[in-house]
Amino acid sequence: MVTIKFLARFKDITGDRDVEIDYNGSISGLIDILCFKYDNQFKEAIFNKKGDLRDYMKILVNGEDIRTINGLKTGLNEGDQVVIFQTIAGG
């Protein structure tokens, strides 16, 4: 099982604080599953119109940003924890 934790806006979009999914594969595949489960609002919050991960999105695997690992190709294994949230900027 992979545990996915949703923070801030994503907790509101999904109605879940966390969810466990029996999954071994890439972050990209996991996001596809989550987009199917939580519909267009989730997908639009994650990706821009070109289908790229939004700049302000943070996806952590076991505390490490996927951008510093292998991006959306980052692999997941049994027991991994994924945290999905967006950064907030202010002035």
Q: What is the pLDDT of residues 8-32, one digit of tens each?
A: 889 999 999 999 999 999 999 999 9
Domain count, the chain: 1
Mean pLDDT of 24-41: 93
Residue 52 lies in a domain: yes
Contact 58, 87 (CB under 8 A): yes
Tens of pLDDT along 51-76?
899 988 999 999 999 999 999 999 99
Query: Could you identify the residue written with the tokens 């639009």?
Result: 44
Structural domain containing residue 78: 2-86
Residue 74 lies in a domain: yes
Which of 38, 77, 35, 71 lies closest to 53, judged by CA?
71
Residue 91 lies in a domain: no
Q: For the domain that residue 52 is a member of, what is the CATH number?
A: 3.10.20.30
Q: Above 80 in pLDDT, residue 88?
A: no
Question: pLDDT confidence of 91, banded at 50, 70, 90?
Answer: low
